[in-house]
Structure 1
Amino acid sequence: MGLSDSSVATDAASVARNRLVLAVYTAAIFVSALLLFSVQPLFTKMVLPRLGGSPAVWSVAMVFFQSLLLGGYAYAHYLMQLKNRMLPVAIHLVLLVVALLTLPLSIAGGWGEPPTSGYALWLLGLFAVSIGLPFFALAANNPLLQAWFVRSGHPNGPDPYFLYASSNIGSFLALLSYPVLLEPMFTLRTQNLIWTGGYGLLIVLIAACGVLLLRSPVMAERDLQTEEADAPAPPWMLRARWIFLAAVPSGLLIAVTAHISTDVAAAPLLWVLPLSLYLLTWVLVFQSRPLLPHKWVLLMQPLAIAGVIALLAFGGEQNLLLTLGGHQLCFFVIAMACHGELARTRPAAKYLTGFYVALSFGGMVGGLFAGLIAPFTFSWIAEYPILLACAALCRPPGGNERLARWGWWYWPLLAALAVALIAPTYHPGKVLTWLETHRVWIIGAVGVLSALLALGLNANRWKIFATVAVALALIRAYPSDDGRVETVRSFFGVHKIVVTSNGQYHVLMHGTTIHGAEKYQNDDGTPVTGRPEPITYYHKDGGIGQAIAAIRERKGSPLRVAVIGLGSGTLACAAEPGETWKYFEIDQTMVDTAKDPKYFSFISKCDPDMKPVIGDARLTFAKEPAGIYDLIIVDAYSSDAIPIHLATEEAMEIYKERLAPQGAVAMHVSNRHLELSSVVVGIADANDLKSWVYNEDTNRDSEYIFSTTVVISARADADIGKLATSDQWALTEAEDDQRVWTDDYSNVLGAVWRRLKKGEE
């Protein structure tokens, strides 16, 4: 073999090795991200039953995952400071194997029942002791493997950031595949076993990455170190900016999710969409050739901020799809701008792990603010406008400002404008009335002004920030709700108490979903006196009202009733003297609101001594004596975001055991997004109960009397009295082709699909 042949063979071997290195490292980073983001919905779903299925559980879970991500990135950073190239490989493989020994995933012993307060801290502790070690090991993989790739001798080693796209593609696919494939097809136990198998595969891939690193030429690493020796360390101001640029979109992710699920629509799986867009931005900005040039995104960013201002000014009920799509499109553009700035200012590969530490620290700070601090500080979703204003500061430092010589005039003019528009709210009169009438145009104009400052005048980011802040303050000063509004916020969500503009009704709302209402004034303006009439879903002719009347008539003596879910306390006035009604509610603030006569008077007038049992009903109701209740009313499903664990075969078994010999279970399943009647029929059938469905489809949704869907389940026809022969109640068999929901299996997407199909019929 000649010299040229030897050279060709060497080149071919080098090319083959480079392909192998790239394939193995890409696969390892992809699988690691896939596992990292599939464990989040998997384990969070295991935890949800302990806290009523509250959406806040997802927010706290995000805070935990972001915090542990920081720990993993810091561990990778310090591990790569070791001079011995074998030591990081050995240490990390040992960590992965030790973490493997803790699998499959399970809730740690001693964490079965949450405390009566401090839910967020309890959840963080539960996550830490249950999945802390395997998640920590996974969290370190992305920066660690990229740092190994830098030292592998691969031609692309000096700029490994393209591998971050592979990581986020894995995260993106994991997030979308969970509700579409894994949840509908597999039980939680099977998902857990699949995940454990994937973890074992990952250890093999990472071991292969380590072998390739150790077999790489030492000279390649020395050459790289020589090339980067002159690369200056990032200044601390730049590191601080990285943290800020990562914190704003991370916080916005939680804030926009909270806003659209609270003030727009509490639809199931809604959290998937913003998180998917968030991950997609990371994929796009770290590509070798970005799909969207960063300068284009910077031009769109002020328009996106102005768009959110307009959406907040208009409110969320006019066009649901347009509002949901608008918020998420604007969030996508804002996140692209922030992450694009991070990609533009990324350091040399030598400082890669430190860069990722700054990113994860910023993500944790944003998550902590939006997920933990804001819910306990504000009574409304204030974090959304706050972070939106901060997004203006994520723009790069301005260049030459047009009309710079007149720039100093802007600050007193903006201050005067703010005072002129906000001061009238403290002095009711004609000016305030005119401003309230034209609120959308005024707020929109200030929002557009912020965009014009950026695009037309190339103004500095502080002027844009101040203008956006004024526009957002005006949204709060001139709310879109018709009537007086007060908000009550707890770990379990934000509820609004709306007093209609004529003062006739007090309405309890969660987003656009009404949970109860009370009539305070008659049509002639005189106050309502005496015992309040149950309305909304609880009027005497509706499904729940008929069920109560039928069981009362069948028994012929005072009832013993359990009610899961308090709401505005309407059902307190459905009880008759001598009857025993016991209420189970997870949210203490909801109890406080329902008991306050300035909000609602059902409890104060009908059952002033009521003492609801506080806690998740799956845990508290299971402690009730067996065989004592004539009727169990499960009313935790009028919200569009549902506590799934109250509609499983095991939950129905608990209800059945606590029924009197001729008792019945009535479940209120009215829902705009989910078809739940067949779910309840299925879980009742699995417990040898028969079910009748009341599905009122009338046009009576006026004067706060609503159509309802109710399922009543009992052992025999005679147990439900006259309902068994009523034309309004249909005896319904369980669907043979529909899988029964259990604590180990549920299919929310299937319920969404059935509701859509029903709407088309």
Structure 2
Amino acid sequence: MTSFPPKIPPVSVLPYAFAIFLSAFLLFQVEPIIARYILPWFGGTPAVWTTCMLFFQVFLLGGYGYAHLLASHLSPRHQALVHLGLVVCSLVFLPITPDDVWKPDVTQDPMLAIILLLMVTIGVPFLLISASGPLLQHWFNRVHPTVAPYRLFALSNLGSLLGLVSYPFFIEPQLGLRMQTLFWSAGYGLYAVMCTWGALPLFRFPLRSESSENPEYRKDKKARLPESFLILSLAACGSVVLLATTNQICRDIAVIPFLWVLPLGLYLISFILCFDHPRWYDRRIWVPVLLVLLSAVVYLLHQEYAETEVIVYIQIFIYSAVLFACCMVCHGELVRLRPPARFLTSFYLMVALGGALGGVFVNLVAPVLFKGYWEFHFGLVATMMLLAICLFRTRDPLRSPRILWSERVFLVGGIATLAGFLAMHIQEEQASTILTTRNFYGVLRVKETDRGTESASRFLYHGRINHGRQFLTPRRHLYPTAYYGPFSGISLAINRHPRQLGLNTLEDRKGQGGLRVGNIGLGVGTTAVYSRPGDIYRFYEINPDVDRMAREYFTYLKNAQGAQQVVLGDGRISLERELGNKHRQQFDILAVDAFSGDGIPVHLLTREAFALYWEHLRPDGILALHITNLHFDFSPVVRALARESGKQALWIKDMADHGKGNSYSDWVLVTNNQAFLDDFFVNIRIVPWRSLEEIIWTDDYSNLFQVVAP
């Protein structure tokens, strides 16, 4: 392993090592801090993180480009003056706490809104610290021209990894969101001091730009065009697999910082290992490992449509393992192509460009090309194809020339087999689908099954989760289905509410007004089937495509007897704005129906969210929370928040009845309405809690792993 020569005093290395480490720590610490801060503003969707990652990758590219320009065109002294001057000016952007004025409204494109918010909040500081890795390595190479600086890149990635890992385990649990931004801002001030220390030796250099490298390096040549294209492709492929895997994990499990940090951390570990020493990437080990893990992930994908459900931790392990193997292959081959140290900044610029192109592909190109999250499939196949190209370029891809052709045939066959199985998964996903749309909030599919039979039905799927069903035959057309059947918790809340029982005639409804029912989450509008003349049902829906599909492909809203309104935008933000405008809704019932999917909007299950709900409910109102979920049991959180609010929580379970189109459902009804609590028909439907554990979540901290279902 290469080390610093003894003749270099440790104190001369320290400022570069510390500044590079700190800048990398801050660079990757700010990513989950800011993304976590704004996640509730944009509905808690996985696209919030991938959009943030697109911004980070593009600005990382900008930082590397800036470092390359300084290194290529300015003398060391001028490089130091320019960079330190900009760092001092950037202090005016501190602290980096996002202002509430950036909360989105329904007219804004969410991706554009996030990028603008990030540019104004952290754009300049982020660009400058992103330049620190290559720029300070270049400065180190100028001060110590005979020492290869590439191990400082491994140190940089170590800092990045610690910045990421420390967030979900130390920073998020201990500090509120505002304190997190202040903590980061203080760290940025320290970075300015360390950067100044590292720049001091550069002022000994002459003003004119000239190379101080060892003359033996001058004969080195840049990478040829094919090698440059391969470097770019490998970097882009690693980025695609990272973002696509993060999307896949969050889509199948939950959108939480830990599941952002884990994939990005593995991505960085692969960089650390591959750039530390060539021994960490041995083709004889990693090629077979990759093939085995690809088989496992193909199995996992096909289990989406099987009767069995794979345990959460196994899903996380398989996705994480295949991501790490793909990144080790991409980055291991990348290191094999790295140029001599004098081309360091241009090499890093090419790597950053590849990462940014991967982000652009996942965020901007894939939603146009693919109807589903198929960039994950694309990334796996692309990794195998790039591996094959790298192996074909060498005489002995794995062991010796004698088995070269058998290895090539094996690789080509493996790529074809992988592509075939992934194509089968896409075909399964599209079976019986009559319409597919994809936007910032995910993939929606309208499917029809059992055509020509009494059970003919139309479904709305978000990913692989059923968000509503309607029978197509006239006799059953308005039957309440899925999680909203006649014995569900929401049916009980509506039909047994004392005000409902007291409105016996149409004249009563005209005189007193009907029920006011709020719903966070529209689905296909099934609960509107319970409306009666004079009722007002107000739905809050963040995804405009859901509203369009509910009206064009389903008829619950159109055939509702009462008035129905759909408010587009995140439900919590909409309720906050209504409250800010002195417009309390005075709901008799407020249903929060956003937890049955894979991406959990935890900001709807916090202390602050509950306080908001009760501002909009009548004193005798009922808060109905639909907590049915394959992976998580939210009852400890709901029960704790109900007790803290001084209310009683009732768990209502409804068993599946597939013949009637009803799914298994868990609803928790929270209220202090004594007449409702004493109702005989309510009491016979209550089931005992699984446990009496209570967990309080707040806007500052929530942990989904606390509520993983046993």
| TM-score, with length taken from structure 1 | 0.80
Tell me, yes or no, if the aligned pair for 2:104 and 2:110 is still in contact at 8 Å.
Answer: no
Q: CA deviation at 1:470?
A: 5.2
Match of 1:593 in 2: 549
Match of 2:570 in 1: 616
Aligned CA distance change for structure 1 residues 94 and 731 (closer, same or farther; 3 Å)? farther
Cα distance in structure 1, aligned partners of 2:474 and 2:366: 38
Aligned partner (choices 59, 74, 77) of residue 86 of structure 1: 77
Q: CA deviation at 1:354?
A: 0.7
Asked if 1:345 corresponds to 2:337, the answer is yes
Aligned CA distance change for structure 1 residues 204 and 515 (closer, same or farther; 3 Å)? same
Tell me, yes or no, if the aligned pair for 2:145 and 2:214 is still in contact at 8 Å.
Answer: no
Cα distance in structure 1, aligned partners of 2:164 and 2:652: 35
Tell me, yes or no, if the aligned pair for 2:517 and 2:590 is still in contact at 8 Å.
Answer: yes
Aligned partner (choices 593, 596, 605) of residue 559 of structure 2: 605
Tell me, yes or no, if the aligned pair for 2:333 and 2:390 is still in contact at 8 Å.
Answer: no
Aligned partner (choices 50, 56, 63) of residue 59 of structure 1: 50
Q: CA deviation at 1:399?
A: 4.5
Tell me, yes or no, if the aligned pair for 2:537 and 2:565 is still in contact at 8 Å.
Answer: no
**What is the percent sequence identity of the aligned residues?**
31
Match of 2:94 in 1: 103
Cα distance in structure 1, aligned partners of 2:206 and 2:281: 37
Asked if 1:335 corresponds to 2:362, the answer is no
Cα distance in structure 1, aligned partners of 2:671 and 2:201: 65
Match of 2:439 in 1: 490
Cα distance in structure 2, aligned partners of 1:693 and 1:480: 37
Moved more, 182-191 or 501-510: 501-510
Match of 2:510 in 1: none
Aligned CA distance change for structure 1 residues 466 and 537 (closer, same or farther; 3 Å)? closer
Which letter does structure 2 place at the counterpart of 1:534? P
Aligned partner (choices 93, 103, 106) of residue 112 of structure 1: 103
Q: CA deviation at 1:223?
A: 5.9
Tell me, yes or no, if the aligned pair for 1:484 and 1:501 is still in contact at 8 Å.
Answer: no
Superposed CA offset, 1:131-177 (max 9, x none): 1011111111111111112122275x2x2222222222222222222
Aligned CA distance change for structure 1 residues 140 and 658 (closer, same or farther; 3 Å)? same
Moved more, 614-623 or 144-153: 614-623
Tell me, yes or no, if the aligned pair for 2:587 and 2:617 is still in contact at 8 Å.
Answer: yes
Cα distance in structure 2, aligned partners of 1:239 and 1:312: 34
SS in 1 for 2:196: helix
Which letter does structure 2 place at the counterpart of 1:345? L
Match of 1:529 in 2: 475
Asked if 1:564 corresponds to 2:495, the answer is no
Which letter does structure 1 place at the counterpart of 2:437? V
Aligned partner (choices 236, 240, 247) of residue 251 of structure 1: 240
Aligned CA distance change for structure 1 residues 546 and 399 (closer, same or farther; 3 Å)? closer
Cα distance in structure 2, aligned partners of 1:253 and 1:217: 44
- For the aligned residues, what is the CA RMSD? 3.6
Tell me, yes or no, if the aligned pair for 1:679 and 1:741 is still in contact at 8 Å.
Answer: no
Cα distance in structure 1, aligned partners of 2:619 and 2:27: 49
Match of 1:705 in 2: 662
SS in 2 for 1:632: strand
Match of 2:588 in 1: 630
Tell me, yes or no, if the aligned pair for 1:115 and 1:122 is still in contact at 8 Å.
Answer: no
Match of 2:470 in 1: 518
Which letter does structure 2 place at the counterpart of 1:381? Y
Cα distance in structure 2, aligned partners of 1:518 and 1:381: 26
Asked if 1:171 corresponds to 2:117, the answer is no
Superposed CA offset, 1:419-446 (max 9, x none): xxxxxxxxxxxxxxxxxxxxxxxxxxxx
Asked if 1:539 corresponds to 2:485, the answer is yes
Tell me, yes or no, if the aligned pair for 1:398 and 1:460 is still in contact at 8 Å.
Answer: no
Aligned CA distance change for structure 1 residues 679 and 645 (closer, same or farther; 3 Å)? same
Match of 2:705 in 1: 752
Cα distance in structure 2, aligned partners of 1:607 and 1:489: 32
Superposed CA offset, 1:354-395 (max 9, x none): 111111111111111112221244221222223333223312
Superposed CA offset, 1:62-92 (max 9, x none): 1111000000000111111244222222222
Cα distance in structure 2, aligned partners of 1:102 and 1:533: 56
Gapped regions of structure 1 (runs ≥ 5): 1-12, 403-452, 521-526
| TM-score, with length taken from structure 2 | 0.85
Match of 2:398 in 1: none
Which letter does structure 1 place at the counterpart of 2:244? A
Asked if 1:650 corresponds to 2:640, the answer is no
Match of 1:389 in 2: 381
Match of 1:549 in 2: 495
Q: CA deviation at 1:204?
A: 2.2
Which letter does structure 1 place at the counterpart of 2:34? F
Aligned CA distance change for structure 1 residues 486 and 455 (closer, same or farther; 3 Å)? farther
Which letter does structure 1 place at the counterpart of 2:706? W
Match of 1:278 in 2: 267
Q: CA deviation at 1:730?
A: 8.4
* 1:369-388 equivalent positions in 2, closer than 5 A: 369-388=361-380
SS in 2 for 1:57: helix
Q: CA deviation at 1:570?
A: 1.3
Aligned CA distance change for structure 1 residues 627 and 587 (closer, same or farther; 3 Å)? closer
Superposed CA offset, 1:331-360 (max 9, x none): 322221111111111011111111111111
Aligned residues: 675
Aligned CA distance change for structure 1 residues 194 and 463 (closer, same or farther; 3 Å)? same
Aligned CA distance change for structure 1 residues 701 and 167 (closer, same or farther; 3 Å)? farther
Cα distance in structure 1, aligned partners of 2:79 and 2:305: 52
SS in 2 for 1:290: helix
Aligned CA distance change for structure 1 residues 256 and 18 (closer, same or farther; 3 Å)? same
Which letter does structure 1 place at the counterpart of 2:596? S
Which letter does structure 2 place at the counterpart of 1:95? L
Aligned CA distance change for structure 1 residues 151 and 66 (closer, same or farther; 3 Å)? same
Q: CA deviation at 1:712?
A: 3.2
Q: CA deviation at 1:460?
A: 11
Aligned CA distance change for structure 1 residues 690 and 358 (closer, same or farther; 3 Å)? same
Superposed CA offset, 1:15-36 (max 9, x none): 4853223343233222211111
Aligned CA distance change for structure 1 residues 177 and 72 (closer, same or farther; 3 Å)? same
Match of 2:618 in 1: 660
Aligned partner (choices 354, 358, 361) of residue 353 of structure 2: 361
